[in-house]
Amino acid sequence: MRFIIITGLSGSGKSTAAKVLEDEGFYVIDNLPLTLLPAFFEQGGGEIVDSVGVAVVMDVRNPHFVTGSDNVFAAIRKAGHEPEIFFFDAADDELIRRFSTTRRRHPLSNYTTVTAAIAEERSLLQPLRERATVVFDSSLLSVHQLKAAVLRCLHGSSDLAVPMSVRLQSFGFRYGIPLESDLVIDVRFLPNPHYVEALRPLTGCDKPVRDFVLEQPECCEFLDRTRSWLAFLIPRYRQEGKRYLTISIGCTGGHHRSVAIVEALRDCLKESQDVTITHRDLIKEEG
């Protein structure tokens, strides 16, 4: 079982990291009393989460965390668990700005100013920073960039670090644009199989319709340009921490052109992406 301690300065991104780990299947505990950690493992905590791991957010909110961590960590190691320490930090001026923006109260509220509280917190946590498995400096990172950094640390691979599912969806404009769309592509410029009597009762899943649509010269160029465009966009969405991308491709009724294009794009994307497809309006009757 993987065991991670999330710690660091207040306002530096610990809550963001906790949410990332929770999404990855970790059992996340916030501000658990330090003395309860060994008991958690002894009384079956490991059985709950042994398939992934447990993450515990601990910081100066717990007055005994800094002074008592060595003995507790030693007890955890004796029980067979090796704790990793994810330490989150940021520049003082950035932390001050964040506290000013959110109007949160600093945990060391007995200090007269936020600046003094940050200085005292930094001093208290310095020994843990020196022992940290990894230190994240969030000073210049957006929330999405920080999430991506945590995922890269977890998985150790840029390909696995920010997994993203791509959903290709055909639809008919006459029934409205899907609200969940991230990207919308209009293929109504292509010749319409609806006006070919033999093709009208078929759909873009049928080979005669696919051949009719995909063999059009403008369609070949369109697919080449779209593949190149998506090859540029998808890695950049992933770098920003996006986990799901819905690409909606529309024609008039959602039966012929958009369906054929989705099927064609699925074939070229599935080698490098986790791709699912949906034909939203395929079963609707044209009216």
Residue 180 has what DSSP assignment?
Answer: T
Secondary structure of 116-145 in the HEC alphabet?
Answer: HHHHHHHHHHHHHHHHCCEEEECCCCCHHH
**Strand pairing class (274-279; 183-186):** unpaired
| Domains of the chain: residue spans and CATH | 2-161 (3.40.50.300), 165-279 (no CATH)
* pTM of the entire predicted model: 0.64
Determine the pLDDT at residue 64: 74
Determine the pLDDT at residue 159: 53
Determine the pLDDT at residue 47: 56
Determine the pLDDT at residue 162: 60
Euclidean distance between CA atoms 234 and 159, whole angstroms: 12
Query: Residues 6 or more apart from 233 whose CB is under 8 A from it?
Result: 183
- Alpha helix positions (H), the chain: 14-23, 36-40, 46-49, 65-78, 92-102, 114-131, 143-155, 158-161, 207-214, 217-239, 257-269
Closest CA to 254 of 165, 195, 186: 186
Determine the pLDDT at residue 48: 60
Which amino acid, 7?
T
- C-alpha distances (whole Å) from 152 to each of 5, 133, 237 are 17, 14, 15
Per-residue burial over 137-175, b if 16 or more Cβ lie within 10 Å, else e, is bbeebeeeebbbbbbebbeeeeeebbebebbbbbbbbee
Euclidean distance between CA atoms 61 and 48, whole angstroms: 26
Per-residue burial over 180-197, b if 16 or more Cβ lie within 10 Å, else e, is ebeeebebeebebbbeee
CA 71 distance to own-chain centroid: 35
Question: What 3-state class would DSSP assign to 269?
Answer: helix
* The token pair that represents 63 in the structure block: 């007055």
Closest CA to 84 of 161, 141, 154, 163: 154
Q: Are 86 and 136 in contact (CB under 8 A)?
A: yes
Please report, in tens digits, the pLDDT of each residue of the chain (287 residues total): 788 999 999 999 999 999 999 988 888 989 887 777 777 766 655 556 555 788 889 888 887 777 777 777 777 777 777 889 999 999 999 998 988 887 778 888 776 788 888 998 999 899 889 889 999 999 988 888 888 889 888 877 555 556 678 999 999 999 999 999 999 999 999 999 999 999 999 999 999 999 999 999 999 999 999 999 998 998 888 777 677 899 999 999 999 999 999 999 988 887 667 889 999 998 764 44
Euclidean distance between CA atoms 247 and 119, whole angstroms: 48
Euclidean distance between CA atoms 284 and 192, whole angstroms: 17
Euclidean distance between CA atoms 111 and 203, whole angstroms: 70
Q: Are 284 and 253 in contact (CB under 8 A)?
A: yes
Euclidean distance between CA atoms 32 and 59, whole angstroms: 10
